[in-house]
A and B are shown apart, each in its own frame.
Chain A
Amino acid sequence: AQSVTQPDIHITVSEGASLELRCNYSYGATPYLFWYVQSPGQGLQLLLKYFSGDTLVQGIKGFEAEFKRSQSSFNLRKPSVHWSDAAEYFCAVNDYKLSFGAGTTVTVRA
């Protein structure tokens, strides 16, 4: 079955520091990959998606993700974190349904 794994359950980062969230996928063909963010008490908001082509994709809120086929990874990055980035982040692969990772909770300290 197609799946994604998010190895980090919780990450704490200082405001202004860089952030990288890991995602590894298992998929036989070209994967269609997504990152979503869930703020406390909110729904899932799409940050960015990868379908094909360029391995670096830009998203909203200053996020970007790099697709590396050789490492089966699709890591999410942000150069400088803001307090409002505290949330839970989900990586997902679309195999006619979205299969989500377990999520990574990001805490931002002042």
Chain B
Amino acid sequence: DSGVTQTPKHLITATGQRVTLRCSPRSGDLSVYWYQQSLDQGLQFLIHYYNGEERAKGNILERFSAQQFPDLHSELNLSSLELGDSALYFCASSVGTGGTEETQYFGPGTRLLVL
């Protein structure tokens, strides 16, 4: 158990809908990262937040957005869902600002299925 929690574990929804994925980082960690794992793209970095502020963006679609709240939990919002958004979404956390030497600890993931 890494100490990173994600809810829900599974999510089934329809095309065009909007969903929210939630992540709580390890106690004391200030950075939260979101990754998408799909069969065709592999593991891809989406976005990084540090202490409530966006620090870096990766291959995140405009239909996707995220935020980190004052209690440090983070939410990833996916809207206008398409079949291709079906994937496993991971949250990770690290203790500092996101330097290259930091270790990221991963949550169990949320499996999203868009029908």
Contact = CB atoms under 8 A, between A and B. Distances in A.
B90 A94 contact: no
B105 interface: yes
Interface string A83-110: 0000000100011111110110000000
Query: Number of contact residues on B: which range applies?
Result: 20 to 34
A43 B90 contact: yes
B70 interface: no
Contacts of B35: 98
A63 interface: no
Contacts of B104: 94, 98
Contact of A51 (B33, B92, B101): B101
Given A44-B90, A103-B42, A97 B48 contact: yes
B102 A94 contact: yes
B103 A46 contact: yes
A94 B104 CA distance: 9
Nearest to B6: A43
18 contacts: A32-B100, A34-B103, A36-B106, A42-B108, A43-B90, A43-B107, A44-B106, A46-B103, A49-B103, A94-B104, A96-B48, A96-B56, A97-B48, A97-B58, A98-B35, A98-B92, A99-B45, A100-B43
Interface of B: 2, 33, 35, 42-43, 45, 48, 56, 58, 90, 92, 98-109
Interface of A: 32, 34, 36, 42-46, 49, 51, 90, 94-100, 102-103
Given A43-B108, A96-B100, 20 more contacts: A36-B106, A42-B108, A43-B107, A45-B106, A46-B2, A46-B106, A49-B103, A90-B43, A94-B100, A94-B101, A94-B104, A96-B56, A97-B33, A97-B48, A97-B58, A98-B43, A98-B45, A98-B104, A102-B42, A103-B43
Closest 10 CB pairs between A and B? Answer: A44-B106, A100-B43, A43-B108, A97-B45, A94-B100, A32-B100, A43-B106, A43-B109, A102-B42, A32-B101
